[in-house]
Structure 1
C-alpha cells in the first residue's frame, strides 16, 4: 500500500511532526507534574518532621567491634513496634525511627544482652551516637543449624516478593510449576505468562530480561529447581531499566550462595489435553569459589487437539506431534566484590506437524540461537551495568494445500547500559541508554516470483531517573525519550517507512503512613508499537478458512 492510498487520518499521522504533538501536551503534562511535585514536597516535609535517626557502635569490653550484632529498638509506648539495626564491619549501626522514646537490647550469636542504660529519646534534633559495650559469653560452636521461617509474600510499594519455598506444594518441583502457585499468575494458551489475564508478564533473571519466545522461556524455567531461586519479584510498574513495558515484570532472583560442587536437577512430566504430551529435562550446575556454570538439556513431544468454531461450522486442528529439543549453557564469574561477568547461550531445534480436518497439513522446522552478555562494575557511590543480547532464528514452513514453502529469518540485537550514582544516602540518580534492532525476512524458494518480504525496526531510548528514599518516604520520577524507525518492503516495493519521537514521563510518590500501611501516588505512561504481523502482509489457511492480513 502506498502513502497515497492511505486514509486521510493515517497520512496525517505519518506527516505530522511528533514535536508538534508534544507541544500540544506540554501544558497539560506540566500541570500534572507540578501537582505531583507539590504533593511530594508536602509528604517529604511531613516525613522529615516525624522521623529521627539513631547511630552508634557496639563493641566488647576489650574494644573489639561486633560485626553483624543486631540492635533492637522497641517503642516504649507500644512494645509491638520493633526496629532492628544490623552492625557493619566496624560495629556501627544506623536506624531511622518515628519520634518518641525507645528501649534497646543487643542480640549476638544467639544470645541477648541488655545494657544498664538502654533508653533513648528520638526527637527532631540529632541524637548523640550511642556507645554500647557488652561482654559476650564464650561459646564453642561445633555445628550451627539455622532455621528461618520466611513469609510467602512481602510487599515493598508496588513490588511483591514471593518466597516459593514457603509453599509446601512447590518444594521439589521445577521453577515454572512454582511460579504457577503465585496468586494470579496464569499460563495463557500460547504459552505466555500473565497476571489475572490483564498484565502480560515479561520474565527476567536477576534484572536481565529473557529475550526468548514463550516456549523457550518455559523451557528455561522448567530447567531450574525451585531451590535455585532466592525470591521472585512481581513488578507491576517496571522502571525504564526494563525497557518499554506496558505490562508487568516477573524478576527471578537466584541464590547468592549456591551449593558448592556439582549438583543435578532432573524433572519429567506428562499432560493430557485430549491427547498425551510428555517432556523431560536435565540440568547440571557446577559452582566453585566465585565461578558458577551450568548446562541444561530438554526434550519434549507435545500433542493437542483443538476445535475452531465459526459461522460456517467447526474445524478441528491437531498438532501431532510438536517435537523438539533445547540446550542451554551459562557461565558467571564474580571477578571481585565490585565486578561481575555473565554469559548465557541458548539453542533449540523443533519440528511441528499440523493436521487440518479437511485433509491439509503444514510442517514447520525451527532453529533458534541466542547469546546474552552482562557486565557489572561498582564502587562506593556508583554502579555501571551493561548488556548485549543477540538472537537469530530460522523457520521453514511447508504447506500441503498449495505445495509451497516459506523460509523466515529473524535477527534481534540489543545494546544497553545504565549508570547509577548515589548523591547522598537518600538521593540517587539513574541514567541509561538502550538500542534495539530487529531484522525480519521471508522468502518463498519454490515460488516463481520468489516472494521476498523484509522488515526492519530500530528503537533508541534514553532515560533519566531520580529517586529519593528517606524514612517513610520513597519516591522516584523521570522521563524517557524514544526514537523509532521502521521500514518494510515486499518484492522490492516499500510498504512502510515510519519515524517517530515519543517521550514518557513517570513519577511515583509513596509514604508509609503506618506499619504495614503504604499510600502511593503514581504516574505511568507507555505506548505500544504495532505487532510485527500488523506491519507485514501475510496469508494463512485452515481448511475452509482463508485469511489475508
Structure 2
C-alpha cells in the first residue's frame, strides 16, 4: 500500500508540475516554439512542438513508430498500439478503434487476420524497432472486404541487404503467477530468394475472477463468486520463401502451424440468503476443470506482376483449425459436501477455409483504376455431447444439452475503385458487390440464406499547406455473424449461467461519415453513422429456476457518433507529453421483454502519455488512462482507470534492448456492471483480470543483414473462426 501511495504522489507531481510554474514563454513559428532565452532550471516550462511523427494519408492517421520517443519503452507492438491515438486495448488485450470496432490487422498493406489469441501472441513477439509506422483507418473504402469496418496497417522497416539476420524477443510477466513469451525470427536473403523462419513458445498461468450480486424474484439474495486459473502453452512456427524471378515477377510461399494446450481450473460458489441477509437458504460450490487444445495449419501462396503502370496480384489461402475441449461440471452442497449434480461435455470443432483473390491496377495519367475479385468457401463442423450422472451412478447421454451444428458459407465479391489527384485535392470512389450463400444446419433446425449487397464508398482530401489538411469519407459496410454467434450450443459459465448462439442471426449494415482535420501535429476526427440489425447478446432470467442465460439477437438499429483528438507537446528537451481525448455517443433502439428501451449514452476517455529522457541513455514512460461511466440500454458500466510505468535502456550499439515495466500499478482496471432496470432483474457483476503485473523484456538483434521479408498474408474469414 505504501508503494502504491508513493507512485500515486509521483504521478500527480509529474502530471501537474507544469501547472505550478510561474512563467510560460512561447515563441511561435510554423514548425517550432522555442524559448526566448536559455533555461538552466525547471523554473520555466518551455513548450515546443515535437518532431513530425503524425501525418494523414487519405484522411487516416499515420503514426511513426521506430525512433518515436512515445514508444521507446514499449515492450512489444501490442504495447505500442495501447499508446497509439485512436486505438484502445481492453483488459483481455482485445484491439478496438473508433469506440468498439474490432479492426482487421494488416502487415505492409496485406491482411494478417488470425484468431484472437494467436494475433495477440504475434503482436507481442514483435519489437517496436521493427516497425516503421502504423496507419489507423476507421472508414475503409470499397477496395477492402466489407467486413473491415476498421483497419490497422503495420508497415515494417525495409532493408534489402544480402545475408542473414536474427532477432530474439523475450518477455516475462510476473504477478501472483508468471508467464513467459519467447520468439525467434531468422531471415536469409540472396539475390533471388528470401527465406524466413519464425518460431515461438509461450507458457504460463493467468487468473480471472468473477463476482455477482443478484436479488432474486423471491427476494432472496444470491452471491456468485468464480475463480479461474488457466495454465497454457503455445508453440508456433512459420516458414516461407519469397522468389524474385525478375524485375516484374514475384512468387511467395508460406507454411505455418500453431499448437495450443490449456488446462483450466474454474471453481465457484453460490451463496444465497433471505432478503435481510440473515438466514442462509443454500450454499453450493462447483468445480469445472477444462482441457482444451487447438491445432492450426495454414498455407499461403501469392504471385505479383508489375510492368510500368500496370500491376497484377494473386493470393490463395487454405486454413485448417481443429478444437477439442472436455469439461467436468461438479456441483455440491458446501456445508455437507453432498453431490448435487455432475455432468461432462465433449466438444469437437473443425473449420476449413479456402480463399482466392486477384487484384489489378492501371495508372492512366494522374488517375488510378483498380479492380478485383475474391472467392471464399468455409466449412465448420461442431459436435458437443453432454453426459449426466444418473441416480444409478452412471453417466448417460443428455439430449437436452447436446447438439450437432454445421455451417457452410460461400462469398463472391468484386470491386471497382477510382483514385485521382487534382493538385491539392484528392478524390477516391469505389463500389463493391458481395454475394453471400450460407447454410446453418443444427439437429433441431436449418437456416439457408442467399443475399447480394452493393457497398459504395467515397472520400476526398484537401491539403491547404504543409500544416493544414482536411478530409471527408463515406462508406457502407456489412458485418456477418462470426461462427460462435451462430452456434446454438450451450456454453456454461456457472451452473446457473450460460450463453447460447443463434443460427437465425442476420448480418448488420453500417453507414457512416467521417471528417478529419490536421493542424501540424494536432489531429481531430468526427464520425457519425447508423447501424441496422445490430448483433448483440441479452440476458434472460428465469425467476422459477434462477437460471440466467445470454442469447443472441438483432436490434433494429443504433445511432452512433465519436469525436477524437490527439496532440503532442514538448515541454522541455527531456519531457514529451501526448494527450488524447475521445468522446462517444450511442443510441440503441432495443426491444426487450415486450418493452422498448432506448437511451442516449455519452461517455469519454482521456489518455496521457509522458516520456522522460534521462541521463545515461535511460527513457522513462508514464501512461495514464481514464474511462468514464458508460454502458448500453440494459447495463451501466462503472468508470475505471489504469496507470503504467516503464523504463528502457539500449546496450552494445542498440543490439540489446532491455525494458522494465509495471502495468496497471493500482490494480484498478476491473470491469463493474449494473443492470439498469431493477423491476426486471437486480444484478451487479464484476470481471477482474490479472493485468497488474511486472514486465521484464529483452530483445537482441544479430546477424549481417536487416532484410525484412514479406509477411504471411491471411484473410478476414480466418478471424471469424473464433
2:107 aligned with 1:205: yes
Q: CA deviation at 1:494?
A: 4.4
Q: CA deviation at 1:351?
A: 1.0
**How does 1:322-401 map onto structure 2 within 5 Å?**
322-357=232-267, 358-401=286-329
With the length of structure 2 as denominator, give the TM-score of the two structures: 0.52
Q: CA deviation at 1:266?
A: 1.0
State how far apart, in whole Å, the 1-side matches of 2:51 and 2:437 are: 48
Query: In structure 2, the residue corresponding to 1:211 is in which secondary structure?
Result: coil
Q: CA deviation at 1:436?
A: 1.8
Q: Which residue matches 1:434?
A: 374
Q: Which residue matches 2:54?
A: 153
Q: CA deviation at 1:543?
A: 2.9
2:229 aligned with 1:298: no
Q: Which residue matches 2:455?
A: 504
Change (3 A) 1:340 1:222: farther
Cα RMSD of the aligned pairs, angstroms, is 2.6
Change (3 A) 1:232 1:211: same
Q: Which residue matches 1:531?
A: 482
2:352 aligned with 1:414: no
- 8 Å CA contact 1:351, 1:366 repeated in 2: yes
State how far apart, in whole Å, the 2-side matches of 1:219 and 1:288 are: 29
Q: Deviations over 1:293-338 (max 9, x none)?
A: 2211111123222222332423323133021211112222232232
Query: In structure 2, the residue corresponding to 1:200 is in which secondary structure?
Result: coil
Query: In structure 1, the residue corresponding to 2:287 is in which secondary structure?
Result: coil
State how far apart, in whole Å, the 1-side matches of 2:374 and 2:491 are: 35
Q: Which residue matches 1:264?
A: 166
Worse-superposed segment, 225-234 or 328-337 = 225-234
Change (3 A) 1:183 1:290: farther
Q: CA deviation at 1:527?
A: 1.9
Query: In structure 2, the residue corresponding to 1:400 is in which secondary structure?
Result: strand
State how far apart, in whole Å, the 2-side matches of 1:337 and 1:170 are: 37
Please identify the structure whose Cα radius of gyration is greater.
1
Q: CA deviation at 1:433?
A: 0.9
Change (3 A) 1:170 1:202: farther
Query: In structure 1, the residue corresponding to 2:66 is in which secondary structure?
Result: helix
Query: In structure 2, the residue corresponding to 1:474 is in which secondary structure?
Result: strand
Change (3 A) 1:153 1:418: same
Q: CA deviation at 1:180?
A: 3.5
State how far apart, in whole Å, the 2-side matches of 1:192 and 1:184 are: 14
2:68 aligned with 1:167: yes
Q: CA deviation at 1:274?
A: 4.6
**How does 1:470-481 map onto structure 2 within 5 Å?**
470-481=422-433
Q: Which runs of 5+ in 2 are unaligned?
A: 1-28, 32-49, 215-221, 268-285, 330-342, 388-396, 501-722
Query: In structure 2, the residue corresponding to 1:216 is in which secondary structure?
Result: helix
Q: Deviations over 1:191-223 (max 9, x none)?
A: 432236433221111221113112212333334
State how far apart, in whole Å, the 2-side matches of 1:173 and 1:285 are: 22
Change (3 A) 1:385 1:317: farther
Q: CA deviation at 1:354?
A: 1.9
Q: CA deviation at 1:534?
A: 2.9
- 8 Å CA contact 1:157, 1:518 repeated in 2: no
- 8 Å CA contact 1:233, 1:251 repeated in 2: yes
With the length of structure 1 as denominator, give the TM-score of the two structures: 0.68
Where relative contact order (Cα < 8 A, 6+ residues apart) is larger, the structure is: 2
Q: CA deviation at 1:392?
A: 0.7
Number of residue-to-residue matches in the alignment:
402
Q: Which residue matches 2:417?
A: 465
- 8 Å CA contact 2:59, 2:470 repeated in 1: no
Change (3 A) 1:307 1:175: closer
- 8 Å CA contact 2:104, 2:148 repeated in 1: no
- 8 Å CA contact 1:410, 1:441 repeated in 2: yes
Q: Which residue matches 1:231?
A: 133
- 8 Å CA contact 1:224, 1:283 repeated in 2: no
Q: Which runs of 5+ in 1 are unaligned?
A: 1-78, 82-148
Indicate the structure with greater strand content: 2
State how far apart, in whole Å, the 1-side matches of 2:158 and 2:52 are: 19
